[in-house]
Amino acid sequence: MAEQVWIAGVGMTEFARHTDRGVPDLAAEAVREALADAGLERRHVEAAFFGNTTQGALQGQYMIGGQIALRGMGFERIPVFNVENACATGATALHLAADQVRAGSVDIALAVGSEKMNIADRDRAMAVFEGAYDVSDPAAMKAALAALGGETDNSHAGRRSVFMDIYAAMARAHMNRFGTTQRQIAAVAAKNHRHSVHNEKAQHRKEFSVEEILSARALSFPLTVPMCAPITDGAAAVVVCGERGLRRLAARGRAVRVLASVVGTGVTHSPDAWDQHISRLLAERAYDRAGVGPEDIDVAELHDATAFGEIQQAECLGLCAPGTGGEAAERGETSLGGRLPVNPSGGLESKGHPLGATGLAQVYELVGQLRGEAGARQVSGARIAIAENGGGFHSGEEAVAAITVLGA
């Protein structure tokens, strides 16, 4: 019989521009906090999964990043696995750690993601995103974006990652299909910036009105700068355990159950086949494994690298009907105090997006919510939570997605 899996501890650095810190140092802070949160020591960890996406390109550390970072903290003998899965790297590291525990291979495992993305050469930092689609066939990506959102003139737009153009094309396709408006996308961004004011670990903690967001510097239409995630440094860590590991915890009542963890890729489908989107297919699998449905979710952390991303993922996960994600945000349904709060952390737009750490930071937030420890951003009575973490681009959608369902 497969082991039940629990999250025993979580840790996270402040997400920011850490000009004087590197990947190992940031990882060490998050891991120390996660171990302390679990009431465990380094010697209890039997396997580690280290997530990072940019260290090779930006620091030249193409291999053994996890071994270097964790050995520097004193982890010895245990297996350390390096994980790269685009922006879904953090959730993938957690998935692999949970699988090790569920299989009975180890009692306690560690998942950690750490990124140092802010470097002096801003163009090099932006260039890392170019490796998250099929670099052997850039014409195919250009054709896919045109098929999604039509041709558009971006000559006026400032420096940005290619993924802002990708999300913009997805947004225009949604607007054409369902009538979603730029103002509704801005409402999502305004909501998330408002939430971030209460998150002491968020990169940006400034509230913006819908009007301020609409009048901000334009990127690829319909996106403006406050609708998009910044370049971020930071780390997050999660301690995963099974029943035997759980018995080692002094405060077992604070452990949160992993009801489901799924990772997958998409299927070939036409751009307008929204019911075949990678996240929708994975959500069905996740709900089935967790024994819950979207109607049971109390709080969600969704991958909003842009504000439109939250709209898309809320619909794909069944948290609202197709085409209604923007309306739900405008009505306040996804705000704290609303029907189903989404991204109470502030989301990637304001909390920040250190790629390999993002999925674990979502879990950090949700564990706090399910424990009732989220302070001013606490969702009342939260018992079931869901996180969606996706990344890359292939065949008109994310190349990979990961969904995690947690229960108090």
Residue 393: per-residue pLDDT: 92
Distance CA 234, CA 185 (A): 27
Question: Which CATH number is 122-231+259-407 given?
Answer: 3.40.47.10
Q: Give the pLDDT mean for 192-215.
A: 98
Place of tokens 């225009």: 172
pLDDT in tens, 99-119: 999 999 999 999 999 999 999
Residue 94: per-residue pLDDT: 98
Q: Which of 174, 277, 303, 353 is catalytic?
A: 353
Place of tokens 């402040």: 14
Structure tokens at 369: 């919510």
Instruction: Answer yes or no: same fold for 6-120+232-258 and 122-231+259-407.
Output: yes
Residue 154: per-residue pLDDT: 67
pLDDT surpasses 90 at 340: yes
Dihedral over Cα of 345, 346, 349, 350: its sign: negative
Ordered by start, the domain boundaries in the chain are 6-120+232-258, 122-231+259-407
Confidence class for position 78, pLDDT limits 50, 70, 90: very high
Q: What is the DSSP letter of 233?
A: B
Cβ-contact 328, 320 below 8 angstroms: yes
pLDDT surpasses 70 at 1: no
Residue 149: per-residue pLDDT: 80
Structure tokens at 63: 């291999």
pLDDT surpasses 90 at 384: yes
One of 3.40.47.10, 2.60.40.10, 3.10.520.10, 3.40.640.10 is the CATH number of 6-120+232-258, namely 3.40.47.10
pTM assigned to the model: 0.96
Residue 228: per-residue pLDDT: 96
pLDDT surpasses 80 at 281: yes
Does residue 222 have a cis peptide bond before it, meaning omega lies within 30 degrees of 0? yes
Q: Give the pLDDT mean for 304-321.
A: 98
Distance CA 145, CA 33 (A): 42
pLDDT in tens, 6-45: 999 999 999 999 999 999 999 999 999 999 999 999 999 9
State CA 90 to chain mean position distance. Answer: 7
Lowest mean pLDDT among 92-96, 122-126, 334-338, 373-377: 122-126
Which residues are registered as beta bridge partners of 113? 51, 236
pLDDT in tens, 138-150: 888 788 888 788 7
Residue 126: per-residue pLDDT: 87
pLDDT in tens, 34-74: 999 999 999 999 999 999 999 999 999 999 999 999 999 99
Which residues are registered as beta bridge partners of 82? 50
Q: What is the mean pLDDT of the chain?
A: 94
pLDDT surpasses 70 at 229: yes
Query: Could you tell me what percent of the chain has a pLDDT over 90?
Result: 84
Query: Could you tell me what percent of the chain has a pLDDT over 70?
Result: 98
pLDDT surpasses 70 at 157: no
353 is catalytic: yes
Cβ-contact 396, 42 below 8 angstroms: no
Residue 156: per-residue pLDDT: 67
